[in-house]
Amino acid sequence: MAGFVGRFEHSVDSKGRVIVPVRFREAFGRGGFLTPNTEGCVALRTPGENERLMAEMLEAAKTSSDGRNQARVWAANTAEVEIDKQGRMAIPSHLREFAHLEGDVLIHGAIDRIELWNPAQWEERVKPMEAWFLEGDE
């Protein structure tokens, strides 16, 4: 698996759509699954990756009340999406609100998924790690 890598900046249009970067589109054919993701972003997963995660959620739901609630919240907020001929994908309003996606959106590869971030939240979240890459681990 080559995985998803790279960083792109796009904008959410007035209809709540965002352009999926060309280098990512082939993996999705015409669609994928948008899910709320930890740390306040939205993840776009391929159908196969979504099935794998769904199986994990199902197993977790069998073991505890917390696991069942996590699976409920994840499933209730997951949206199947299509990518149109222009490469645009509509982001449901509940997921745009969850991740504060309005105006500019940072879209980046996260190996097994694509993440969509509010740029200000991305900066806040990753600034310490970017500094580590610049300075090293000394």
Tokens coding 68: 């069942």
Give the model's pLDDT for residue 119.
96
Q: Taking the mean position of all CA atoms in its chain, how far away is CA 55?
A: 18
Provide the pLDDT for residue 2: 64
| Token representation of residue 87 | 């490469």
pTM reported for the whole predicted model: 0.90
The whole-number pLDDT of residue 29 equals: 87
Helix (H) / strand (E) element for 106: namely strand 104-109
8 Cβ neighbours under 8 A, 6+ residues apart: 21, 106, 107, 108
Residue with tokens 């009340």: 65
The CATH fold assigned to 7-135 is: Chemotaxis protein chec (3.40.1550)
Angle between helices 47-61 and 65-77 (to 10 degrees): 150
Q: Tens digits of per-residue pLDDT, 55-87?
A: 999 999 999 999 999 999 999 999 999 999 999
3-state secondary structure of 132: helix
Q: Which of 24, 42, 61, 29 is nearest to 106 (CA)?
A: 42
For each of the chain's 138 residues, which pLDDT tens digit applies? 569 999 999 999 999 999 999 999 999 987 899 999 989 999 999 999 999 999 999 999 999 999 999 999 999 999 999 999 999 999 999 999 999 999 999 999 999 999 999 999 999 988 788 777 777 765
Distances (CA, A) of 67 to 3, 54, 55, 89, 128: 28, 12, 12, 30, 31
